[in-house]
Amino acid sequence: MSALRPPARGGLGLSRLGLRLAGSRRFQIIAERIPLLRRIGRREGDALFDIVAGFVHSQVLYALVELRVLHMVHDGPQTVQALAARTGLSPERMQLLLQGGAALKLLKRCRDGRFDLAVRGAAFLAVPGLEAMVGHHHVLYRDLADPVAFLKGETDPELARFWPYVFGAAGAVDAEVTAKYSLLMTESQGLVAEDTLRLVDLMGVKRLMDVGGGTGAFLAAVGRAYPLMELMLFDLPIVVAAAPEKLAAAGLGGRFTVHGGSFRDDPLPLGADAISLVRVLFDHSDETVKLLLSRVFAALPPDGRVIIAEPMSGGAVPHRETDTYMAFYTAAMKTGRTRSAAEIGELLSAQGFTGIKVFPGFRPYVASAVTAVRPSVPG
């Protein structure tokens, strides 16, 4: 992890000049007469308006998901009147929604006035868990209705109570809520597993324990990629109850063991030479993460590895998706935080881990990875 480099000599003054020019309406008018500056200015103007309009864009998507419009046109184009009748909207309001969906390239308007699924809309439907994520955004939007009050800590975020399985100190107490959350995690875990296994080579690992692994979706992907690896799953008892059947159905019979417990209260089982924490840390506070990492360190043998995979902040170079959506989402959860790879590395070092490596994600909003080793000789 490299330290921040100081700005190049003279660069700061040049950037301030650029800011003064960009902030001058007179300069903007002059720039419109110069082709190169005009292209730059209009590109920046489009990007700025995209930020201004972002909330409406997301609400158009939310309406399309809630009304299942993308599904209705999946098999072929539909008329405005037919879609209006199926959703209970007036034709005028359905036209409004469809035009918006087409403008966002989720739908496409046919020459005869009907609307069909666009490539982006088809891709949206194909991403596991994405519909479910958008489907509960009304909770997040309410929490951010007054963003200044939210940032001042003057609100009581509803999202903090939406997933009590994760956020309640007592663990899972509601089987229905637990099942709902587990389903969302299972549906979306495919992309996370895909990216994590592309980032991190697990060759040489004999037994992997996935902590906080739900019903075993990540372990199933690992098991397919590494046919000789033995697998262990650790999560709350109410969560892992469904895991044996799912793992057996994935063809992993005889290769896995399932352990119920809470890392807040219980030591982790021994026997794994690698432990994975997939989308676990960002659900929890620094104090809880320190406790978890200390238990991971205690459970690993010398030279054992820990693998952490989740969306991470860009840190010194803020990332568009993780430092906006993910960071505000985890803040609304109240117990979690979107950390940078450097911050995670510091937490690992504080527990005694060495050999820390960072693997920037192909899709940072899906997962980046950090790995570390328990040293063979105590430091």
101: domain CATH number?
1.10.10.10
- Tallying the residues shown for the chain, one arrives at 379
Q: Are residues 213 and 315 in the same domain?
A: yes
Q: Are residues 197 and 315 in the same domain?
A: yes
Q: Are residues 205 and 349 in the same domain?
A: yes
* Dihedral sign computed on CA atoms, order 72, 180, 249, 195: positive
Nearest in space to 195 (alpha carbons), one of 279, 304, 317: 279
pLDDT confidence band for 30 (50 / 70 / 90): confident
pLDDT confidence band for 169 (50 / 70 / 90): very low
DSSP 313: B
Q: Are residues 104 and 242 in the same domain?
A: no
Which residue range is the domain that position 289 belongs to? Answer: 147-373
Say yes or no to pLDDT of 68 above 90. yes
Final residue belonging to a domain, choices 73, 92, 126: 126
Mean pLDDT computed over 95-112: 97
Q: Can you give the pTM of this predicted structure?
A: 0.83
The pLDDT value given to residue 312: 96
Instruction: Please give the order of strands across the beta sheet that includes 230-235.
Output: 256-260, 230-235, 207-211, 274-278, 305-310, 368-373, 354-359
Q: Are residues 46 and 70 in the same domain?
A: no
Q: Are residues 289 and 333 in the same domain?
A: yes
Asked if the structure places residue 138 within a domain, the reply is no
Q: Are residues 290 and 317 in the same domain?
A: yes
Say yes or no to pLDDT of 13 above 80. no
**Mean per-residue pLDDT over the chain, rounded:** 87
The pLDDT value given to residue 179: 57
Q: Are residues 163 and 258 in the same domain?
A: yes
Q: Taking a C-beta distance cutoff of 8 angstroms, is the pair 333, 159 a contact?
A: yes
| CA end-to-end span of the chain | 20
Q: Are residues 102 and 166 in the same domain?
A: no
**Across 61-65, 131-135, 288-292, least confident range:** 131-135
Q: Are residues 152 and 33 in the same domain?
A: no
Asked if the structure places residue 5 within a domain, the reply is no
Looking at per-residue pLDDT, the higher value among 82 and 41 belongs to 82
Dihedral of the CA atoms 259, 296, 184, 243 (nearest 10)?
Answer: -20
pLDDT confidence band for 326 (50 / 70 / 90): very high
Mean pLDDT computed over 277-290: 94
Mean pLDDT computed over 225-249: 93
Among residues of the chain, what percentage have pLDDT more than 70? Answer: 86
337: domain CATH number?
3.40.50.150
Total domains in the chain come to 3
Say yes or no to pLDDT of 339 above 70. yes
The pLDDT value given to residue 159: 85
pLDDT confidence band for 25 (50 / 70 / 90): confident
